[in-house]
Amino acid sequence: MSPSPAVRRRLRLGLPRRMFSQLLLMQVAVAAGVAVLATGLFLAPLGHLLDDQAMRQALAIAQTTAAQPQIAEDLQSTRPSVDGPVQAEAERIRRASGAEYVVVMNTRHVRWSHPDHAQIGRTVSTDPSEALAGREVMQIDSGTLGRSARGKVPLRDARGRIIGAVSVGIEYNNVRSRLMHVVPGLFAYAGAALAIGAVAAYLLARRVQRQTRDLAFSDISALLAEREAMLHGIREGVVALDRAGRVRLLNDEAQRLLGIGEEAVGRPLDEALGEGRTTDVLAGRVTGTDLLTVRGHRVLIANRMPTDDGGAVATLRDRTELEQLGRELDSTRGLIDALRAQDHEHANRMHTLLGLLELEMYEDAVEFVGEVVGDRRATAEQVTERIHDPLLAALLVGKATVAAERGVALWIGDRTLLPDRLIDPRGLVTIVGNLVDNALDAVAGTPHARVEVELRAEGRAVVLRVRDTGPGVPAEWRELVFTDGWSTKRPPAHGKRGIGLSLVRRLAERQGGGARVAEAEGGGAEFTVILPEAFEASGASGARPAAHGAGAPGEGRGTCSAQEAPGP
């Protein structure tokens, strides 16, 4: 690929390509330009200043000359001549003051004195009318002796009448010579300043070279363009913070995952995101790698890396789908455990039935088969009669099987009655499944372990309560248990703990409800979740009446116990 016309022109002119060389040349050129400009700006007023000083000096000599009364008397009493007293006194003053000329004239413009004797007795070459009118004059003008700085004053007699004028000139070449005498020193200072500027430019260019790794401007521009494309093209959120904790950069994926827009750039992180674990993780108040956090309905994995300038860059990965896969894996494992328990239970009952048949206890065998089938039917009916949503009913039947194998009695509360037509049945399945799993873990290994689930409709709201007979939740932990990543349990092999209860609260809050935990009556924990708008507009009125007495006779609540595990 051939270079562009701009590149060809630059190569033809021999311009350097590296940033170090370009920056050094630019800074030296700027320093040289500043030095030249400063020299010119200094010389221009200096020339005017020297001119003004020369004119004032000429005026002062003229004033001194005119102040001598003898000159005024001699001007009135003598004729203009080379040997006259006025010429002698004027020459004395000229030699003493270093002036180019001292001219004394009368009111008719006739000279009484002049360095060129041939000019004595002649009229002056410049107009002295202003001086003869009584005004003092300073000017740069040309006369018979060339260009000079002049001062003219009126000459008065003893009674104050103007009888003539005194004109004093200082050779202009003397003024220019003084100016030229200053120029070499000025250029020396300018050269020294330029040299210092060049050294400073070299040091600065070297520093920039180290920091930019001697890249060309075009390379840096390309890197910036590639950086923008990469940041906004990757499927991972990137959040950059400055040392004050303000958001410096947000790529498109970070905006999507965090639910914020470009208006967050430049604002403090706490203000842009609000309080919560996500803010604490991104701000570095929670340390670690692959930190788990929940933002809205998304499960995120965050990592934070400090930068040299005191800021930080945080990356965010969406783990929502992975977490859903993990939960599906947990459900699959639960189903496998339930099938294994059913298989084990079925084998034990078949062995019992076989023994009764071999002992020819046929009536007992028939009674045993009837009890087994009746128990199984009664247990399934307890759930389906009270919970009309098929997903929730299937979930609780499966959880009852797992509970039975773990030696835990899973009870369906006697106030349970849930119609169908839920707006978000999958969300409620997630909430119930997490709370039941949490309760089963809490009561594991305890005597007379029991978990009770109560689901009921109140208008368009769903009220869910899950009670257990475990150790309960201490008062100081009752808010912490809903925090992202907080758990007292060892994490499983496929992921991390501490998100189940957090998701329960987030799902409840997303539907305008909430979740809390308290101490259950008789000990243990009681989790309560309220979903105010869980049903469609006509969903609450579509409930079918519960079939009472579906459970075991004489029992006030439906029970799926370890001894009465439901069928698949």
In this prediction, residue 378 carries a pLDDT of 46
Do 403 and 560 contact (CB within 8 A), yes or no? yes
Give the residue carrying structure tokens 């890249």: 215
Give the residue carrying structure tokens 């045993």: 368
In this prediction, residue 453 carries a pLDDT of 92
Statement: residue 42 has pLDDT above 80: no
In this prediction, residue 358 carries a pLDDT of 83
Report which of residues 179 and 309 the model is more confident about: 309
- Lowest pLDDT segment from 192-196, 244-248, 255-259, 556-560: 556-560
Statement: residue 26 has pLDDT above 90: no
pLDDT band at 282 (very low <50, low <70, confident <90, very high): confident
3-state helix vs strand vs coil in the chain, percent to 5: 50, 20, 30
Which residues are CB-contacts of 296 (< 8 A; sequence separation ≥ 6)? 259, 506, 510
* Separation CA 483–CA 293 (nearest Å): 9
pLDDT band at 490 (very low <50, low <70, confident <90, very high): low
* Separation CA 469–CA 411 (nearest Å): 12
In this prediction, residue 543 carries a pLDDT of 43
In this prediction, residue 452 carries a pLDDT of 92
Give the residue carrying structure tokens 């300073």: 138
DSSP string, 31-98: HHHHHHHHHHHHHHHHHHHHHHHHHHHHHHHHHHHHT-HHHHHHHHHS---TTSHHHHHHHHHHHHHT
Which residues are CB-contacts of 222 (< 8 A; sequence separation ≥ 6)? none
Backbone angles phi, psi at 466, to 5 degrees: -125, 115
Q: DSSP H helical segments within 136-285, as ranges?
A: 172-212, 217-233, 252-258, 269-273, 277-283
Domains 14-233 and 237-318 share a fold: yes
Statement: residue 405 has pLDDT above 60: yes
pLDDT band at 564 (very low <50, low <70, confident <90, very high): very low
- Lowest pLDDT segment from 131-140, 177-186, 224-233, 468-477: 177-186
pLDDT band at 280 (very low <50, low <70, confident <90, very high): confident
Q: What angle do CA 185, 186, 187 make, to 5 degrees?
A: 90
Distances (CA, A) of 439 to 325, 442, 524, 529: 22, 5, 9, 14
In this prediction, residue 346 carries a pLDDT of 72
Per-residue pLDDT, averaged over 244-271, amounts to 85
Statement: residue 277 has pLDDT above 90: no
Mean predicted lDDT score pLDDT of the chain? 76
Do 531 and 461 contact (CB within 8 A), yes or no? yes
In this prediction, residue 552 carries a pLDDT of 34
Statement: residue 495 has pLDDT above 70: no
- Lowest pLDDT segment from 84-98, 149-163, 493-507: 493-507
- Residue 512: which region, alpha, beta or left (left: phi > 0; alpha: psi -120 to 50)? left
In this prediction, residue 555 carries a pLDDT of 39
In this prediction, residue 546 carries a pLDDT of 38
Token pair in block for residue 262: 């470009």
pLDDT band at 214 (very low <50, low <70, confident <90, very high): low
In this prediction, residue 535 carries a pLDDT of 81
Per-residue pLDDT, averaged over 434-463, amounts to 89
- CATH topology for 14-233 is Beta-Lactamase (3.30.450)
Which helix (H) or strand (E) segment holds residue 527: the answer is: strand 525-531
Report which of residues 353 and 44 the model is more confident about: 353
pLDDT in tens, 58-73: 889 888 888 888 888 8
* Separation CA 108–CA 551 (nearest Å): 146
* Separation CA 442–CA 461 (nearest Å): 28
In this prediction, residue 487 carries a pLDDT of 64
Residues in the chain, how many? 568
Per-residue pLDDT, averaged over 11-18, amounts to 50
Report which of residues 343 and 115 the model is more confident about: 115
- CATH topology for 237-318 is Beta-Lactamase (3.30.450)
Taking the domains of the chain in order of start, what are their residue ranges? 14-233, 237-318, 371-560
In this prediction, residue 550 carries a pLDDT of 33
In this prediction, residue 4 carries a pLDDT of 52
Which residues are CB-contacts of 537 (< 8 A; sequence separation ≥ 6)? 460
Which residues are CB-contacts of 13 (< 8 A; sequence separation ≥ 6)? none
Do 414 and 551 contact (CB within 8 A), yes or no? no
Report which of residues 47 and 350 the model is more confident about: 350
* Separation CA 454–CA 521 (nearest Å): 14
Sign (positive/negative) of CA torsion 490, 494, 495, 501?
Answer: negative
Statement: residue 48 has pLDDT above 60: yes
Which helix (H) or strand (E) segment holds residue 156: the answer is: strand 146-156
pLDDT in tens, 528-553: 999 887 886 654 444 443 333 333 33
In this prediction, residue 154 carries a pLDDT of 92
HEC string of 368-417? Answer: HHHHHHHHHHHHHHHHHHHECCHHHHHHHHHHHHHHHHCCCEEEECCCCE
Chain centroid offset of residue 483 CA: 27
Backbone angles phi, psi at 226, to 5 degrees: -65, -35
In this prediction, residue 30 carries a pLDDT of 75
CATH class of the domain whose range is 371-560: alpha beta
In this prediction, residue 253 carries a pLDDT of 84
Statement: residue 28 has pLDDT above 70: yes
